């Protein structure tokens, strides 16, 4: 398949920077008028800043607009930020959170169409066409993963197998029987599936060629492991319910950053303290403005995701800006004894060791005598537990040293047998923080 055939909408995905800025400006002007006149929350916010719709003349004026936070969404639960009458809402989606009020987002039919277009672009980016069979084991329901992939597959005309999450044995049976060529799920569940398929001796029975994974941070080491086991090419898809679910961005076959569909979502990468742009290739907080969304458009939504951005043209031909693989989220970050620690740092360190070390781990943070204590549970090869105890102790010391080098702090290491740490069929839980901070 040629590079051109792997671009669904070359007009917008390859548009010149000046043309795109003009289009984004037109859409921003319309957006600001809509939210100012239809969403009291934004009317109040803009008035507090002394900003009126007439002050916004182009995309460069976006810095004059107020930020929106997840707390704002919670305070306006469920539909306080809706910008159209309820009669125009055809669907609601929500967060996958398990505590407190959900983050609920209403969608119009146009919002659904845009969502399908974005995921369709991503699937095309991975080389998928109407000839493919796409196995979806993201959860369906309020969570955006399953339905987002479903809409995208429908957009490119591919056959969809809407399995949802759970029942690993049935998942594998259907993947084999239906001839799935693409697998979409969280990376942690993809690895669990890969390991189970290997245990069943069915790797060579699969027709899989592509994996599209997201909804949780993952590393290049995990990507390579999934690819090596299943003999597929894996892609990192990004999205969040508040903006539109999966399809906001994904990496192409160059795997050099995730392309943002920026004719629909305007990205800024800002210093989270000063709120100033950090420029290209510098780490900052990702902020999005939904340029065309109707049901619940958002101005400068703070995602808390930490990334960098690159506006240069990709070798694939797309001119859309690319964000780097996430270092983490500001709310995933744990400050332990004054040091910022991300789960992805632990994962990278463990996977780099190879051999007897598994990628399955759990970080447990406690506070004892007013001092933070980090414990890292790591699964290791079962054979080690039948060997002499000195080998386990040596490995424990090596893991401890590797993590101290990676994190900058020491951790207590607990080596456990395979399958000890609970597997997740949704988002993997990597950290338990018992400090109640």
| Listed residue (228, 237, 233) closest to 261, CA to CA | 237
- pLDDT of res. 410: 93
Residues in Cβ contact with 186 at an 8 Å cutoff, skipping those fewer than 6 apart: 138, 145, 213, 214, 215, 216, 424, 426, 427, 428
- pLDDT of res. 18: 97
pLDDT digits (tens, 9 = 90+) for 341-375: 888 889 888 988 877 888 789 999 998 877 789 99
* SS3 letters across 28-47: HHHHHHHHHHHCHHHHHHHH
- DSSP assignment of 10-34 equals HHHHT--HHHHHHHHHHHHHHHHHH
Residues with pLDDT less than 70, the chain: 1-4, 96-100, 328, 330-332, 386-387, 436-437
pLDDT digits (tens, 9 = 90+) for 188-247: 899 989 999 999 999 999 999 999 999 887 888 889 999 999 999 999 999 999 999 999
CA angle 246, 204, 200 (to 5 degrees): 85
- Could you give the C-alpha distances from 332 to 280, 343, 344, 348, 430, in angstroms and in order? 23, 8, 10, 16, 10
345: left (phi over 0), alpha (psi -120 to 50) or beta: alpha
Please, which residues bridge with residue 268 across strands?
A: 287
Where do the domains of the chain lie, and which CATH numbers do they carry? 1-329 (3.40.50.12780), 334-433 (3.30.300.30)
d(CA 410, CA 404): 5
Q: Which two tokens stand for residue 164?
A: 């949802």
d(CA 80, CA 416): 48
- pLDDT of res. 367: 84
């Amino acid at each position: 398949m040629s590079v051109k055939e792997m671009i669904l909408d070359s007009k917008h995905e390859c548009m010149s920077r000046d043309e795109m800025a003009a289009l984004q400006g037109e859409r921003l002007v319309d957006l600001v008028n809509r939210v100012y006149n239809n969403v009291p929350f934004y009317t109040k916010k803009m008035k507090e800043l002394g900003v009126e719709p007439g002050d916004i003349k182009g995309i460069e004026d976006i810095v004059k607009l107020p930020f929106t936070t997840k707390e704002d969404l919670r305070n306006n639960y469920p539909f306080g930020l809706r910008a159209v009458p309820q009669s125009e809402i055809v669907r609601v989606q929500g967060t996958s959170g398990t505590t407190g009020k959900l983050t609920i987002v209403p969608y119009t039919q146009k919002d659904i169409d845009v969502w399908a277009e974005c995921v369709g672009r991503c699937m095309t980016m991975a080389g998928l066409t109407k000839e493919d069979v796409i196995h979806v084991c993201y959860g369906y329901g309020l969570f955006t993963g399953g339905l987002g992939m479903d809409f995208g597959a429908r957009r490119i005309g591919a056959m969809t197998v809407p399995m949802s999450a759970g029942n690993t044995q049935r998942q594998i049976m259907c993947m084999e029987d239906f001839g799935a060529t693409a697998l979409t799920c969280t990376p942690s569940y993809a690895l669990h599936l890969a390991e189970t398929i290997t245990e069943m001796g069915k790797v060579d029975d699969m027709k899989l060629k592509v994996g599209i994974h997201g909804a949780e941070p993952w590393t290049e080491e995990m990507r390579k492991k999934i690819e090596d086991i299943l003999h597929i090419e894996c892609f990192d898809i990004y999205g969040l319910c508040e903006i539109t679910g999966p399809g906001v961005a994904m990496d192409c076959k160059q795997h050099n950053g995730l392309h943002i569909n920026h004719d629909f979502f305007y990205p800024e990468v800002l210093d989270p303290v000063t709120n100033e742009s950090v420029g290209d290739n510098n780490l900052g907080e990702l902020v999005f403005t939904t340029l065309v969304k109707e049901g619940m458009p958002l101005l400068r939504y703070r995602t808390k995701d930490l990334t960098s951005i690159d506006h240069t043209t990709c070798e694939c031909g797309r001119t859309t800006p690319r964000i780097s693989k996430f270092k983490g989220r500001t709310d995933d970050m744990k400050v332990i004894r004054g040091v910022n620690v991300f789960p992805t740092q632990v994962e990278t360190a463990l996977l780099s060791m190879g051999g007897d070390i598994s990628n399955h781990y759990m970080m447990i943070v406690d506070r004892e005598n007013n001092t933070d204590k980090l414990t890292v549970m790591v699964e290791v090869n079962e054979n080690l537990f039948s060997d002499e105890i000195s080998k386990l102790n040596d490995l424990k010391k090596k893991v401890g040293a590797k993590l101290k080098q990676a994190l900058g702090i020491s951790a207590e290491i607990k080596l456990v047998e395979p399958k000890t740490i609970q597997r997740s069929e949704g988002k993997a839980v990597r950290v338990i923080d018992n400090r109640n901070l």
